[in-house]
Amino acid sequence: MLDQFHAELAEVLIVVPEEYEKAVRYTGAMGFISKVIPDKSKEIYRQYGLDTSLLGTMQKSEVFVIDALGEIAFAQGHGSPLRLPKVSDVFDVVKSLNARHIEQK
């Protein structure tokens, strides 16, 4: 659905708390070709409260949609990679943000 996100003027980024090479391998293994942001120092993770999961043994996984003003418009995942929202649900959020932006013009 990457083309559909781009058609809505949205970009998909994956932040991985590893060095660049490992981050690229991780996203490639998922079959996800997009922009990868390595965050070995976990600076971004800490800013969004994702430093570690409740169990403390794995990283939290969340999906955020950040609007054109830099505000979080959507956040879901509850810390577990197994509880992430469907891509189609995230796309619906992006579409609604884009529609609102067009209406405001």
Residue type, 51: D
Residue 57 has a CB neighbour count (10 Å cut-off) of 7
Q: State the average pLDDT over residues 63-82.
A: 76
Q: From 77, 51, 79, select the one nearest 65 (Cα to Cα).
A: 77
Domain ranges of the chain: 2-100
Average pLDDT, the chain: 79
The residues near 98 (Cβ < 8 Å, ≥ 6 apart) are 8, 9, 10
pTM of the model: 0.67
pLDDT at 42: 85
Confidence of residue 62 (pLDDT cuts 50, 70, 90): confident
What class has domain 2-100?
Answer: alpha beta
